[in-house]
Structure 1
């Protein structure tokens, strides 16, 4: 159970400290909006000079109100902030919304002041939003404490940017969406993004949670809260291109970026990650329709070959499939359409819509009814016949069409053709809910009466085909999860006894105890110890110089040493050249029919341990064929990651090579990530290579880096 935020979203009474008649001051904008509640709860405007504000008598202090106030908005100069907080707490405030800026965003001194104020608030059992925020609003409780109006609806918007929040409102409006709540996150000194996600998940008036965040705070906790929300969480974030704060002392560290981590966290938590406000609005609109696809097979339906081809490319580029339809389904469609219509997928009316507008509805119905189709994209001219010009809306109508007579306009300003198209739109709107499958529309005329009819029925309509494709992707099951499951985030295990010595052999022992298989090995410092090791297990041997970064690059690894004398000779040469303090003698693994993988875990400062798997060996960084997930991962999730690599074909055998034991590799990946996740002192852990063969998996090298 998360924190109780009732005092924040549905307070018994409100005071605006810093209320003003001056439109240039934020206290003025907040006060104007607060008055819209129209007596829902007592509202007190407080200004140190007294008098009136917006025609209401202003109190000179919170104490002068003469009664407790549950929520206080603080919009005063920075120098008076601490006194204002203390005054609010003394008057019984259970929640404070701090508009005042000038704290952590200015450096260490401001951060110290911010922390001290937050500690006083928490000690009093109260809540603090901000500081440096732009207010809050809750349309379900008529709480309006932000500078702008937010149209009512089902989206809770949690944003670090006020202007972006306004843009999102503009972009959501055409989707027919509004807001249940708005919260400006500010510096998150007390109430955090995680607290708000958890509370919005419990909020009956919220159907989806939209987040714009640059600073996740505890990113792992955010992912866990989103995974457990039980309703869609859509994220827009910035600053994902810089490398995470880490010392890149391994391939894992060198290959892991903030973007990788955020993508992995969102995928594992089932969060829809978006890149722009437009994309966020597009995804929210699709999710609000409530229909999800069972698979990724998309039928593209058009009235022109050009639109169909471009839409098919956009759908496939989004990661969905546009498969050729079966013979029986093509025959069914041929019976509905005319001779020149294409029925393979894309399905193209080729002008029939101008002769018979209901052909749109009949074709959509047939596609939705088919077990071969999971979703439908209607693209192109539909909407143009009823666009308001009484005709075809263009010089030639749809591609492949002959002459068509729009007929006389009816009393509503539509031609007979436009009236027919509107009837088709109404039939489509009735067919989609009954099918349970998603239909997304891209139209040249999205504002036409036909498209408005579709949108009013909860069918997403877009002007740009790439937006329609993205909407379909939001409704599709995840490609890597055949069962459609996306909530794969695993809880962190309890912390294990710390690893004090990250030595190579100590790391091997730690991993081996967790079930990761290694070949026999001994650490040696002298030639006598070397000979003893050679007699402990049969050759051929491998000799490694220890305590070197990237041993292969430094010439610190020699393979296939046939016997003891070859091992001794290699040791003498290597020691003369490198002078390493110790070496490892290991049994040479059988590399035939094997694939080398890399498994690493990098501890991200926001999201905790992040696992990486990919094609391993000496070319890991050059090839960069890797996948990421929040650690630990299950064997099932590990296998999905491996199967999703570009080089995954190697695992199933190519050019006469046998398939390797992917399940054994997945078990090793799961064990490695579990060890790293249980050791918070380990900044980086890596096994490279993990050799996987038809006979199983074997870790051939490992390393660990402790955090500073």
Structure 2
């Protein structure tokens, strides 16, 4: 069920501690907002001087109120914060909104104070948002405890930025979007983003959840909560650069950036990841109608060739397709439109809209009905005939009236179907476009926004991009004590991964004894080197004992390793080399990487990521999503390889890594996939 946050969002009573008449103080803004809902529940203002605040009697302390307080907003100097919390708990507070700053964000001493306060709150059975937050609001319960007013609607915003909330408010309005809830996350000393996400998922007044987060803390728990939300979750986050890969000691670590991890977590959890407040707004506008396209095929409708070409390019840039319409659809459109209209896709009315605005409605209806179309983008001038600010109709002509009627017909036909329809207009605020928007049809002024909105309604572009959920972590196994090549290899073999025969040797006598156990060709590896190939510590294709001995003498003279591994040389002729690795991310836990491997792993960077452990079914999707996936099925006379065996090996490796949190990085490279199975040819691990 998650934590009970009912006292936070629908308290019996509220007290604002630090309420003030001074407009420069945050307690002034909070108090003014809180009083807006004074009829819903008692609102008490507390100022240590007593008197009046904003024309209302102020108590000198919470205890002076004379009745229990369910939720206390604390906006006092940091020096008095602990005392204010203690008094609030003494007065029965079940929830605290801590505006006061000066804690974990200031260093170790502040972090220790913050931890102690959070422990005290939890011990009392209460909950606390903050400290260092900007307040909360819930339009569904008339709870206004932030400095600004938020338009009501169905979006819950959980944000580490207050100014971002103000920008989103402005961007939401043209699309009829508003807020069910707003929570400024602050330092998350007690109530976390995950707690709030889970509560908003249960909240009937919330239809979609928007998140702005710079630090996830427990990113894996966030992904799990988002996957279980049952509502659209849209994430805007920063800091997705590649700094985390700089100190990596394996190919896996070097190839895994923070952006890769966040993207993989969002994909697995079904979260829409966006880069800007504008894109966040576009995706939320697209989710309003809860329509999902069955495929990625888009029909573009315009009344001007230029808009159609630009829109088609934008649609394809968003990862969608603009296929040529089938003959029956084209024939139907030719009968409905005039001779100069283009009907292949994009469909261009070629000026017919000015003669008969109803042609827009007729064409939209035909395109929504076409089997080869999954969604429709109408772009260009529609809206201009009825616009009062420069459109042809001037807001009052027969042409304007015709466009308005066309808008009503489009809205009706859209509502009768199930396919998404998105509109881009030069006049998005016109009466006709407002009619469309009121019917749940997203309307945008920018073509790229309309294309992005359609992409948000479409299914995954590739098997690797399919939302699969987050697999729970297994119980930890007994930790590895050594991370050398042979201990790691033995542990993986015990987990079920196949390797060629191998023996550890320390000198020539042992070397020759190995040749009596199994025949050549051989591989010789110098042990205790992380990147053996880079150091010249691997010799391949040694035909017999003589070549093996010569390679050993040369390598030992050059490297002087304490021991070596002699291994049976695998047949590489019909195989594909993959890389499979797991990197322990501090926020999201184990993250798996699969891709084309061997010595070119970093150069080609044809890799895919997922939260580990990865099931064989999921691994198969990741492998099929690689750019070079065609190699797996055989090209230029080469046979297809056993992709199912490769997927099973990925499951084995990632399950092993997930059960060993002490491993910071582990990889098998190359994992040789042949027509008849797989062999792990090399492995490495780095302990945390």
Scaled by the length of structure 2, the TM-score of the pair is 0.98
Alpha-carbon contact 2:530-2:684 (below 8 Å) kept: no
Distance 1:691 1:86, change over 3 A: same
- Deviation of 1:615 (Å): 1.4
Q: Report how many aligned residue pairs link the two structures.
A: 688
- Choose which of 529, 553, 557 in structure 1 pairs with 2:538: 557
Query: What does residue range 139-154 of structure 1 map to in structure 2 within 5 Å?
Result: 139-154=139-154
SS of corresponding position for 1:236: strand
Say whether the 8 Å CA contact 1:37–1:144 is kept in structure 2: yes
Displacement of 1:267: 0.4
Contact 2:74 2:84 in 1 (8 A): yes
CA contact (8 A) 1:391 1:415 kept: no
| CA deviation vs aligned residue, 1:162-181 (integer Å, no higher than 9, x gap) | 00011111111111011111
1:390 offset after TM fit, Å? 8.1
Query: 8 Å contact 1:240–1:259 — kept in the other structure?
Result: yes
Q: For each residue in 1:648-686, what CA deviation from the matched residue of structure 2 results, as whole angstroms up to 9, or x when unmatched?
A: 222222223222222221111121111111111111110
Instruction: Name the stretch that deviates more: 298-307 or 49-58.
Output: 298-307
- Give the C-alpha shift of residue 330 in structure 1: 1.8
For 2:679, the equivalent position in structure 1 comes to 698
SS in 2 for 1:265: helix
**Does residue 1:673 correspond to 2:654, yes or no?**
yes
Structure 1 residues 183-239: Cα deviation after superposition (integer angstroms, max 9, x where no partner): 000000000000000000011111011000001110000000000000011001111
Q: CA deviation at 1:592?
A: 1.0
Name which of structure 1's ranges 413-422 and 134-143 shifts more when overlaid on structure 2: 413-422
Partner of 1:583: 564
**CA contact under 8 A between 2:93 and 2:126: conserved in structure 1?**
yes
- Cα shift readout 1:219-278 (whole Å, capped 9, x = no counterpart): 000000000000011001111114337840100111111111100000000000010001
Equivalent residue for 2:595? Answer: 614
- 2:266 maps to which residue? 266
Distance (whole Å) between structure 1 residues aligned to residue 391 and residue 42 of structure 2: 58
Deviations 1:380-429 (A, max 9, x none): 1111111126863xxxxxxxxxxxxx6xx8xxx42222211111111111
Does residue 458 of structure 2 align to residue 476 of structure 1?
Answer: yes
SS in 1 for 2:520: coil
Question: Mean alpha-carbon deviation: is it higher for 227-236 or for 38-47?
Answer: 38-47
**Counterpart position of 1:315:** 315
Structure 2: runs of 5+ lacking an equivalent = none
Q: Is the 8 A contact 2:579 2:597 kept in 1?
A: yes
Q: Residue 658 of structure 1 corresponds to which residue in structure 2?
A: 639
The aligned counterpart of 2:576 is 595
> For residues 485 and 655 of structure 1, do their structure 2 counterparts lie closer, same or farther at Cα, with a shift above 3 Å needed?
closer
Inter-partner Cα distance in structure 1 for 2:415 and 2:516: 74
Shift of 1:485: 5.4
Following superposition, the deviation at residue 693 of structure 1 comes to 2.2
State yes or no: 1:438 paired with 2:439: no
Alignment match, 1:646: 627
Q: Describe the superposition over 1:116-159 as per-residue Cα deviations: whole angstroms up to 9, x where unpaired.
A: 11111111111111000000011111111000001111111000
Q: Which of 472, 497, 508 is residue 489 of structure 2 equivalent to?
A: 508
CA contact (8 A) 2:245 2:257 kept: no
Deviation, structure 1 residue 461: 0.4
1:75 equivalenced with 2:75 (yes/no) = yes
Residue of structure 2 equivalent to 1:534: 515
| Counterpart for residue 423 of structure 1 | 405
1-structure distance, mates of 2:363, 2:568 = 66
Instruction: Look up the match of 1:107.
Output: 107
In 2, the alpha carbon distance for the partners of 1:234 and 1:308 equals 29
Conservation of the 8 A alpha-carbon contact between 2:342 and 2:349: yes
Q: What displacement does 1:329 show?
A: 2.0
2:129 is aligned to 129
SS at match of 1:646: coil
Q: 5+ unaligned residues in a row in structure 1: which ranges?
A: 393-405
Alignment counterpart, residue 447 of structure 1, candidates 429, 443, 446: 429
Please name the residue that 1:401 is paired with. Answer: none
Q: Take 1:435 and 1:135, find their aligned partners in 2: how far apart are those partners?
A: 42
Which string of whole-angstrom CA distances, capped at 9 and with x for unpartnered residues, describes residues 551-590 of structure 1? 1111111110001221111111101101111111111111
Q: Distance in 2 between matches of 1:568 and 1:170?
A: 75
